[in-house]
Structure 1
Amino acid sequence: MKQTDPGFAGSLGMGERPALLVIDLIAGYFLPESPLYSPRYAETLPQILESIAFARSSGWPVLYTRLAYDQQHWTGGHFLRKISALTLLQTHPHWADWVEGLAPGPKEPILTKQYASAFHNTPLLATLNFLRVDTLVHVGLSASGCVRATATDAMQYGYLPIVLEDAVEDRSAAIKEANLYDLQAKYADVMPLEALKKRCNNLK
């Protein structure tokens, strides 16, 4: 992703112990009857699945996040007031299931979250520390929300964040482009999956 602002967008590189984080691939984002739906999301799913296959073949830990709320919606707080469509995950539980085609492995951790960042009130930080991860690769939904918030927190917790631009998506191309541009400028290395593969090969 080309940057034009001088003094921004330095390269973070790659550590020795990467992990892949698959963010919020729940069915509600992919079903037309859901208010969370966008047709753009399904277009990105093949790249996400390819990213998972690459991580597994490379021996990386693969972790998943999903959204869930209590019946009173207290655990979502003001976030649910702002995005009221998320309250429907309680009344339409099949929307909170994994999207068709995604199958977390039996040894791949699943973290339940209520807010944007996968680090907020989840065991993600402790899990990454236990696994001695130093690089966190992000895929999933959405670029402007949970992906951006998680990648920013990853940087702030001392991890090397990588966001795969062809394996994340948003409600519009403009929203995605603006947020990935800013992530590349300040918080993460943003690149396509093929570039990540080359970076990994260069480290061997």
Structure 2
Amino acid sequence: MTQKAHRDYQDGFAGRIGWGKRPALLLVDVCNAYWNDASPLDTKSNPASAAAPASIAKLVSAARQGKTPLIWTRVEYTKPDMSDAGLFYSKVPLLKLFQVGCGNGLESWYPGLEPAAGEVVVPKRYPSAFFGTDLAAQLHSCNVDTVIICGVSTSGCVRATALDAMCHQFRPMVVGEACGDLSPAVHKANLSDINAKMADVVSEDEAIQKLQAGWD
């Protein structure tokens, strides 16, 4: 895309949603499968994705410090024939890695990034953490108005979750440094498009400040 075409594309887009007063940290698929040499979904070849777990760890620490709610989401399938993955499985056969009890260890939380006692865990079956789950109800019941989103992949589950967060009237803030994808180009392009249409892409420093501050 030329610079002029990019400017034309951005015209009328990329407004700011802005922060609310009651944020929660929403972690999307922070699983071993995305940062493991033995996994076909390993994203460490992309330097931005390889650095994402360290950024996510900073966000988790800040949220716990500020007593800001943390919600962990990850894909889980329980049917032996993967029928609970629906058409998503037809498109992405590698989803079998996330079958509960498959024994590969790749469906587990990334080492050092695990839910603490009392933190909410929401299993999901599709890209969006909102689709087919009670995530929106849980957030509404806690009076959350802003979701700070991190995890993988930028072009898939992060993007889908950011879109649905906006559609559910939560203010989605996507932390670019804390997201990952296999391709640097796809990661960068999707952050640009997410920021243009469905969420505010914010810096790690800004997100940490909001998480540490907690709720008024």
Counterpart of 1:22 in structure 2 is 27
Match of 1:55 among 53, 60, 63: 63
How high is the TM-score relative to the length of structure 1? 0.92
Q: Which moved more, 1:35-44 or 1:100-109?
A: 35-44
Q: What is the TM-score of this pair, normalised by structure 2? A: 0.87
Relative contact order higher in (CA < 8 Å, ≥ 6 apart): 2
Helix, strand or coil at the partner of 2:122: strand
The farther-off stretch of 105-114 and 50-59 is 50-59
The equivalent position to 1:46 in structure 2, one of 27, 51, 54, is 54
> Alignment partner for residue 142 of structure 2, among 131, 134, 147?
131
Do the aligned residues in 1 keep the contact of 2:51 with 2:177 (CA within 8 Å)? Answer: no
CA distance in 2, matches of 1:43, 1:199: 21
Consecutive unaligned residues in structure 2, runs of 5 or more: 1-5
Q: What is the Cα deviation at residue 196 of structure 1?
A: 2.9
User: Which residue is 1:77 aligned to?
Assistant: 86
Residue 9, structure 1, aligned to residue 18, structure 2: no
Is contact 2:97–2:107 with CA below 8 Å preserved after alignment?
no
Matched, 1:174 2:185: yes
Change (3 A) 1:114 1:199: closer
Higher mean C-alpha displacement, 57-66 vs 142-151: 57-66
Query: Following TM superposition, by how much is the alpha carbon of 1:88 offset from its aligned partner in structure 2, in angstroms?
Result: 2.7
Any idea what the Cα deviations from partners look like across 1:131-180, whole Å, max 9, x if unmatched?
A: 11000110000100000000000000111100000000111110011111
Q: Which residue of 1 aligns with 2:73?
A: 65
> 1:93 offset after TM fit, Å?
4.3
* Contact 2:50–2:180, Cα closer than 8 Å, also in 1: no
AA at the equivalent of 1:154: A
Deviation at 1:194, TM superposition (A): 1.0
SS at match of 2:40: coil
Give 1:73 deviation, angstroms.
0.4
Unpaired stretches in structure 1, ≥5 consecutive residues: none
